[in-house]
Amino acid sequence: MTNKDTLYRTTEGPIKPFQFNQHVADVFPDMIERSVPGYPLTISMLSVIAGQYAQENSNIYDLGCSLGAGSMAIQQGLKTKMCKIIGIDNSPAMINLCNKNISQYTKVNKIHFELSDILQTTIKDASIVVMNFTLQFVPLDKRLSLINKIYEGLLPSGVLILSEKILFDDEIENNTMQKLHHHVKEFNGYEQLEIANKRDALEKILIPETLNNHQDRIKKAGFENSITWLKCLNFVSLIAQK
């Protein structure tokens, strides 16, 4: 049973900056599914990607794992391959819920959830590193060193999966995508007030960049290529191979 997200259905101000606290963790599946167009497909495709790119006896990282949806999809895609899946998040509320949920599912016992800052954590012997809508919450000036660290921690032919909300250089395209995203939220049951309050809360917390910015950074880190494998409005997912 997922709890319905009504956190921003309030006329009481001022709206506080967004935090991944217990209130958010408690409604997170509903929040992300109704807010991020294409999210369920992004998650289910992680099973396919894991099946294809996981290397035997390697590590697989899910950075900013929230409640572990990505880690669990990866686990399902591995079938008989032996890998260590490591889900990392710096929100105690998220990691506590991950550990509570995992004890109910013995089949996901190969996932290790860690409470830690992805800027501090070591990445090594990785065949896959997933950052599903996480880099956008990392300060801009820390993003290149994080992508560099991921590149260094990947095995030869290892892949980074990077999903992000993006901006567009073209003003008309940018406005169109933002409007359509707003309509998706409305269609999914959010009221105008909730949408406006959440936008205020996320300002300066979620910092999107253009696809070019991401591709340039990925290239600078040393990846041979980065391919957009999914795009839904202003949300994309890239695969970059070492």
Beta strands in the chain (DSSP E): 59-63, 84-89, 111-115, 126-132, 154-167, 209-210, 225-232, 235-241
- Which position among 65, 74, 83, 233 is part of the footprint of ligand GEK (CB under 6 A)? 65
**What part of residues 136-175 is at the interface with ligand GEK (CB under 6 A)?**
137-138
* CB nearer to ligand GEK: pick between 119 and 196: 119
134 binds ligand GEK (CB under 6 A): yes
Cα 158 from Cα 39, distance rounded (Å) = 23
* CB nearer to ligand GEK: pick between 82 and 205: 205
List for the chain the helix, strand, coil content (%; round to 5): 45, 20, 35
> Which range in 102-110, 116-124, 183-191, 217-225 contacts ligand GEK by CB under 6 A?
116-124
> Which range in 113-121, 181-189, 207-215, 222-230 contacts ligand GEK by CB under 6 A?
113-121
What is the contact surface with ligand GEK in residues (CB under 6 A)?
A: 20, 32, 64-66, 69-70, 88-91, 94, 117-119, 132-134, 137-138
